[in-house]
């Protein structure tokens, strides 16, 4: 992989523009009515449909987060099973590189983004909370929801799948992203813009320097060289 600097800078500019479209306007400009409308639509559905209430509660339980790990692991396992010993080891090293990138990008985002934002369930008065409607452990609130870290991790996974396994795998990874990231929006633990702006802008700024340069390949080679077989 050669460094594709013009495309990297273009993606960085797109990510920065996306973030500033939310950060600079008073009350976040057009993003706030969109966020508010999406939250209140799903919030009203909680008391209209018992089935929807249970669906949202279950998909925001910590056990469902483990299902996202299983889905990502199964997708990678499907490629691992087709490889010989050398190819399997490389996939494992790629997975470790992906985890390292996710940790570094997430920590930098939390440290550098000058935003601390409560979830809509803590922002709006007189709303419904799943934890009060059902006696079930579920995540329906966050004191610091921006950027959406769960969505960010899933986007990083999707980008790595595209880089190392191609576009078809990227589409499957995006389906995993939608299935496991957007229940947080439906329950009100995240605003829509926490993911559409926060997670995506971080991915657009951070990931190109990892995946569109030799960096990720070099880290994989480094792990392959020094980690035991």
Q: Tell me how far the alpha carbon of residue 96 is from its chain's centroid.
A: 17
CA distance 143 to 115: 12
Residue range 111-118: average pLDDT?
A: 87
Q: CA nearest 65: which of 162, 166, 189?
A: 189
CA distance 200 to 154: 10
Residue range 116-127: average pLDDT?
A: 92
Residue range 143-152: average pLDDT?
A: 89
Taking 90 as the threshold, does the pLDDT of residue 94 lie above it? yes
**Measured CA distances, 44 to 53, 123, 131, 208 (Å):** 10, 16, 15, 39
Taking 70 as the threshold, does the pLDDT of residue 1 lie above it? no
Res 149: pLDDT? 85
List pLDDT tens digits, range 41-59: 999 999 999 999 999 999 9
Res 51: pLDDT? 94
Res 41: pLDDT? 96
Residue range 24-36: average pLDDT?
A: 94
Res 148: pLDDT? 87
Res 13: pLDDT? 97
Taking 80 as the threshold, does the pLDDT of residue 91 lie above it? yes
Taking 90 as the threshold, does the pLDDT of residue 62 lie above it? no
Res 97: pLDDT? 97
> Could you count the other beta carbons within 10 Å of the beta carbon of residue 81?
9
The helix-helix angle for 62-80 and 149-165 (nearest 10°) equals: 10
User: In the structure encoding, which two tokens stand for residue 89, read together?
Assistant: 């080891």
- List the domains of the chain with CATH numbers: 5-226 (1.20.144)
């Amino acid at each position: 992989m050669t460094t594709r600097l013009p495309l990297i800078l273009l993606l960085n500019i797109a990510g920065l523009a996306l973030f500033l479209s939310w950060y600079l306007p008073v009350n976040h400009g057009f993003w706030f009515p969109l966020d508010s409308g999406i939250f209140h639509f799903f919030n009203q559905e909680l008391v209209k449909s018992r089935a929807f209430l249970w669906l949202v509660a279950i998909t925001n339980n910590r056990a469902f987060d483990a299902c996202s790990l299983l889905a990502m692991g199964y997708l990678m396992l499907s490629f691992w099973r087709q490889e010989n010993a050398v190819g399997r080891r490389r996939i494992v090293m790629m997975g470790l590189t992906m985890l390292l990138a996710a940790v570094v990008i997430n920590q930098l985002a939390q440290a550098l983004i000058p935003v601390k934002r409560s979830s809509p369930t803590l922002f709006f008065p007189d709303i419904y909370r799943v934890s009060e409607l059902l006696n079930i452990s579920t995540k329906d609130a966050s004191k610091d929801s921006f950027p959406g870290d769960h969505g960010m991790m899933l986007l990083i996974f999707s980008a790595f799948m595209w880089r190392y396994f191609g576009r078809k795998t990227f589409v499957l990874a995006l389906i995993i992203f939608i299935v496991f990231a957007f229940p947080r929006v439906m329950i009100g633990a995240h605003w829509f813009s926490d993911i559409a702006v926060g997670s995506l802008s971080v991915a657009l700024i951070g990931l190109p320097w990892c995946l569109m340069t030799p960096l990720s390949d070099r880290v994989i080679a480094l792990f392959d060289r020094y980690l035991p077989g």
